[in-house]
Amino acid sequence: MEQQDSVSVLKGIGPKKKAALEKLGIRTIEDLICFFPRDYQDRRRIQSIGDLTEERPALVRGRVTAVKDDPHRRGGKQILRVLISDGSGKLEIIFFNARYLAKMFRPGVLYDFFGKPAFSFGKLQMIHPDYAPSEKGLEQGILPVYPLTAGISQKELRGWQKTALQELSKIREYLPEDIIKRNRLCGMEYAVRNIHFPEEKAALQAGKFRLIFDELLALQTGLLAARYMASEGKQGLAFQKNAAEEHYIKTLGYELTKAQRRVVGEIKADLESGKVMNRLVQGDVGSGKTAVAEIALYKAVKNGFQGVMMAPTEILAKQHFSGLSKSFEVHNITIGLLTGSMTAKEKRETLEKLACGKIQILVGTHAIIQPDVVFQNLGLVITDEQHRFGVKQRSALSQKGENPHILVMTATPIPRTLAVILYGDLDISVIDQLPPGRQKIVTRAIEENQRSLCYDFVEKELKKGRQAYIVAPLIDESEVLDVKSAEELYRELAERFSGYTAALLHGAMKQQEKDTVMERFYKNEIQVLVSTVVIEVGINVPNATIMVIENAERFGLAQLHQLRGRVGRGNHQSYCVLISKANSEVAKKRAQIMVDSQDGFYIAEEDLKLRGPGEIFGTRQHGVPELSIADLARHMHILNDVKKEAGRIMIEDPLLESEKYAELRQRVSKLFSDDFSLRL
Ligand code: ADP
Ligand code: MG
C-alpha cells in the first residue's frame, strides 16, 4: 500500500463508502491517515462502578443481574434496561428501541461496557454504551474518536485507520531536516502513528505538537506567500511625494486624532513608495475610519487616478455616497454611486461616466465587481467592513485596475496577535483612539425578570423622541428559529409600545425589504426596531439611543460591542441593556466586561481569553481556511515558533519553488484549496 493510493484499496470500501469518505475530504490513504481524531476514549483500564463520575466516559465490567424489557412505549420509545453489578456498585444500562438485545444479555454473565455515566433520580445509568461479553472483551487502550459523516461508523473508520497504518511500511517525512531539528519535532512517522493509536499520553502529546506545528506552518507560509505575490516585486503606482492631502485635511472641520494622523502617515508612505499598498485599517466603531479613507481617495484623485469604495450593504453604500459627496463637493471631485437596485438606465449612465473618468470616485455595493464595470484608470480600492467580503471579492475588485493600491477597513476589533494571522497578507494599521468628546454609552446588565422595567425605560426615551433597537433572542445556529422568536417578540413589543411604530428585521427577508425597513428607521418613521442579529454593520442612525439585547449571554463579546456601537452616534446620551438568562460565573464576568469597558480591543482580548477564536471571528469569513488540528487561540505559543520558521522560509524561497519545499507547497495548496486565491 502506498500513501497516494486511493482508499478503495482498503477492504470494505466500495463506491458508497468511498463517496461518504470523500465528504470528509478523504480520497487517498494519505488523506485518511491525515484525518485526525477529534477526541480519545481512555479504555486502558476497567473501573469500579463505585468510582464512576458523571464527567468522564468509562470502561466497566459487571455481571448482569436483571434484564427489564418494557413492551410499552414511553415518550415514543421502547426502553430496555439491563442491570449490572460489579460488587462496588450497581449500574443501569439503557437501550432505546432495541428490544432485540433483550435475549442477548443473560443474567449471571459478565459483560464489558464503555460509555458516559449519568445520574438519573439517584440511579447511575449509561445510555447506549459500547458493549461486549467479557470473555471476548471490548477493545482496550486509548482509542481515537473521529468526526463522522452519514454512512460511516466510528468502528469502520478506526478499522481502516488501523489497517492503513499497519500496511504502510513507512510514512514519509516531508519537512526538511533543519526545520525538524530546530524545533525539536518528532518525525512524521511517529506523529501520525501516535495521533491515531497512542501508546501513552506523552507520545500523543509529542505527535500532536508536531502536527499542529505542521498545520500552522502551512497556514503561515501560505499567507506570507499570498502577501508576497500580492505586493513584493509588483510594480505599484507611485503617487507624488507631496503634502497635497493636507489641503483636504484642512477642510474636514475638525482636527484628526493622533491615531488618525499616524495611520494617514502609514498610508501616505505606502502610496508614495512605488510598491502596491495592501493595508488593513482596524479601528473601533466611531474611530473615524471614513475620514482616513477620504484622505487616501483625495490623494489618488490628485494624482490623476480614480478611486473606489465598496460597502457590504446598499444602505451603507448610500450613506458613504452622500457623506463623500458632501466632503468632496468643495474640492470639485465627482462621486458616483452604483448599487444593485438602480435602474438599468441609471446604471448605464454611471458606467459611461466611470469609463471616461468623469466619475472620479465610485461608491457602491458588490455590484461594483460586475464585469461591465470598467474604470478609466483605477488607482485605489477601498473596502469597508472587510470581514464581510472574502479575499476573492477584494482581488476581483483590484483586477479592475493595474495593480491599484488596496485599503481595507474593519471595525471588528481583533487582538493584534490574531490579526497578524487572519490578515497575514496585509499590513496592519490601528486607529486606537476615539475623537474627543465621545459620550460613554451607559451599559447595564439585567436579568430576565427585570425586563418590564427595561421597557419602561425604553418608553421614556421614545417619549423624548428617541428610537430603540431591540435584538431578539438567539436560539441557536438556526436562523429559522431565530426568526420565529423575533416575530414573537415583535408582536409583544408592537403591543407594548402601541403609541409608536415598531418593525421587524431579520435575515430571511429580501435585501430590498431589509433596506426599506432600515431606510424607514433612519427617517424615524419607525421608532422600535426589533431585529435578529442582522442589523447592518456601520449603519448610522444618530437618533437611536437605546440598544436592548436579549440573550446577551449567547453572544460573543466582540459582537455585543458591535451591536452596542449602533447607538451613541448622535448628541443624545445613549444606553445599552444586556438581558441575560444564565447566571454562571463566566456569564457574569462577560457582562461585567461590557459594563466596564467601551474599548473594542480590550473587549476582544478578554473575549479571546474566554472563548476560542473560531467562535468569535468565524475565521472562515476572513478567508482563512478551516484548521483541522490547530487552534489559533490555544496554540499561540506554537505559533510563535512557526512564525520564525515561516519567516526563514520566506527569505530562502518565498513561493516554495525548490525541491526542498515541494511537499510543504503541496500541503499549503491543499489547505487553501477552495476559497483562497492562492495559486501556488
Ligand atoms: P467609523 O470608524 O466607525 O467608520 P466614522 O468614520 O463614520 O467612524 O466617524 C464617526 C464620526 O466621527 C463621523 O461623524 C466623523 O465625522 C467623526 N469624526 C471622525 N474623525 C473625527 C475627529 N478627528 N474629530 C472629530 N470627529 C471626528
Ligand atoms: Mg465606518
Count CB atoms within 10 A of the CB of residue 337: 21
* Minimum CA distance residue for ligand 1 atom 10: 286
Integer-rounded Cα Rg, in Å, for the chain is 30
Which percentage of the chain shows pLDDT scores above 70? 90
Distance CA 114, CA 128 (A): 9
Which numbered atom of ligand 1 lies nearest the CA of 255? Answer: 23
Average pLDDT on 533-545 reads: 74
Could you tell me if 59 and 138 are in contact, meaning their C-beta atoms sit under 8 angstroms apart?
yes
CA dihedral (374, 368, 519, 325) positive or negative = negative
Instruction: For residue 216, name the pLDDT band (cuts at 50, 70, 90).
Output: very high
Residues in Cβ contact with 412 at an 8 Å cutoff, skipping those fewer than 6 apart: 282, 387, 558, 562, 617
Selection from 146, 186, 113, 144 nearest residue 26 by Cα: 146
Burial 163-191 (b: 16+ CB within 10 A, else e): bbbeebeebeeebbeebbeebebbebebb
- 133 HSE (CA, 13 A, CB side): 9
CA of 290 to the centre of ligand 2 (A): 6
Which numbered atom of ligand 1 lies nearest the CA of 292? Answer: 6
* Minimum CA distance residue for ligand 1 atom 23: 256
Which numbered atom of ligand 1 lies nearest the CA of 289? Answer: 2
Q: What ranges do the domains of the chain cover?
A: 7-37+154-206, 45-139, 244-431, 442-597
Average pLDDT on 170-190 reads: 93
Q: Is the pLDDT of residue 617 over 50?
A: no
CA of 83 to the centre of ligand 2 (A): 64
Distance CA 564, CA 574 (A): 10
pLDDT, position 497: 96
Average pLDDT on 449-477 reads: 90
pLDDT tens-digit map of 563-582: 898 898 888 999 999 998 86
Average pLDDT on 81-101 reads: 89
pLDDT, position 618: 45
pLDDT, position 482: 65
Ligand nearest, relative to CA of residue 258: 1
pLDDT, position 422: 65
Average pLDDT on 397-408 reads: 89
Name the least confident of 146-155, 482-491, 540-549. Answer: 482-491
* Minimum CA distance residue for ligand 1 atom 17: 288
Topology match between the domains 45-139 and 442-597: no
Name the least confident of 397-406, 407-416, 594-603. Answer: 407-416
Distance CA 84, CA 81 (A): 10
pLDDT, position 299: 97
Which numbered atom of ligand 1 lies nearest the CA of 252? Answer: 16
| Ligand 1 first shell, C-beta below 6 A | 254-257, 260, 283, 285-291, 411, 435
Identify the residue with better confidence: 516 or 298: 298
Distance CA 251, CA 244 (A): 12
Q: Is the pLDDT of residue 509 over 50?
A: yes
pLDDT, position 413: 67
pLDDT, position 620: 45
pLDDT, position 230: 66
Name the least confident of 47-51, 232-236, 447-451. Answer: 232-236
- The mean predicted confidence, pLDDT, of the chain is 87
Could you tell me if 168 and 65 are in contact, meaning their C-beta atoms sit under 8 angstroms apart?
no
Identify the residue with better confidence: 457 or 669: 457
Instruction: For residue 82, name the pLDDT band (cuts at 50, 70, 90).
Output: very high
Instruction: For residue 625, name the pLDDT band (cuts at 50, 70, 90).
Output: low
Distance CA 461, CA 468 (A): 8
Q: Is the pLDDT of residue 623 over 70?
A: no
Instruction: For residue 653, name the pLDDT band (cuts at 50, 70, 90).
Output: very high
Q: Which long-range contacts (CB under 8 A, 24 or more apart) does 603-607 make?
A: 603/413, 603/557, 603/558, 603/560, 603/561, 604/413, 604/414, 604/415, 604/557, 604/558, 604/561, 605/415, 606/557, 607/556, 607/557, 607/558
Distance CA 261, CA 284 (A): 16
pLDDT, position 416: 66
Selection from 567, 674, 680, 666 nearest residue 34 by Cα: 666
Average pLDDT on 289-301 reads: 97
Fold type of domain 244-431 = Rossmann fold (3.40.50)
Instruction: For residue 615, name the pLDDT band (cuts at 50, 70, 90).
Output: very low
Ligand nearest, relative to CA of residue 291: 1
What's the whole-model pTM score?
0.65
Testing ligand 1's pocket by substitution, the residue of 250, 252, 254, 432 carrying the most ligand atoms inside 8 A of its CB is 254
Question: Which amino acid, residue 407?
Answer: L
Could you tell me if 55 and 49 are in contact, meaning their C-beta atoms sit under 8 angstroms apart?
no
Instruction: For residue 678, name the pLDDT band (cuts at 50, 70, 90).
Output: very low
Instruction: For residue 385, name the pLDDT band (cuts at 50, 70, 90).
Output: confident
Testing ligand 1's pocket by substitution, the residue of 262, 285, 290, 385 carrying the most ligand atoms inside 8 A of its CB is 290
Give me the phi and psi of 194, to 5 degrees please: -85, -15
Q: Is the pLDDT of residue 525 over 80?
A: yes
Instruction: For residue 614, name the pLDDT band (cuts at 50, 70, 90).
Output: very low
pLDDT tens-digit map of 198-212: 988 899 999 999 999
Q: Is the pLDDT of residue 679 over 60?
A: no
Q: Is the pLDDT of residue 26 over 80?
A: yes
Distances (CA, A) of 502 to 482, 493, 524: 18, 7, 11
Residue pointed to by grid coordinates 476581483 = 396
Testing ligand 1's pocket by substitution, the residue of 264, 287, 292 carrying the most ligand atoms inside 8 A of its CB is 287
Sheet holding 575-580: strands in order across?
442-447, 575-580, 544-549, 467-471, 528-531, 502-505
* Minimum CA distance residue for ligand 1 atom 18: 288
Q: Tell me which CATH code domain 45-139 carries.
A: 2.40.50.140
**Which stretch, 197-206, 244-253, 503-512, has highest mean pLDDT?**
244-253
pLDDT tens-digit map of 120-158: 877 889 989 999 998 888 888 888 999 888 888 888 999
pLDDT tens-digit map of 41-81: 888 888 899 888 877 889 999 999 999 887 777 777 888 89
Name the least confident of 114-123, 148-157, 214-223, 606-615. Answer: 606-615
Average pLDDT on 450-464 reads: 95
CA 608-614-618 angle, to 5 degrees, is 115
Fold type of domain 442-597 = Rossmann fold (3.40.50)
pLDDT, position 103: 85
Helix (H) / strand (E) element for 201: namely helix 201-230
pLDDT tens-digit map of 332-368: 999 999 999 899 999 999 999 999 999 999 999 989 9
pLDDT, position 593: 92
* Minimum CA distance residue for ligand 1 atom 25: 435
pLDDT, position 52: 86
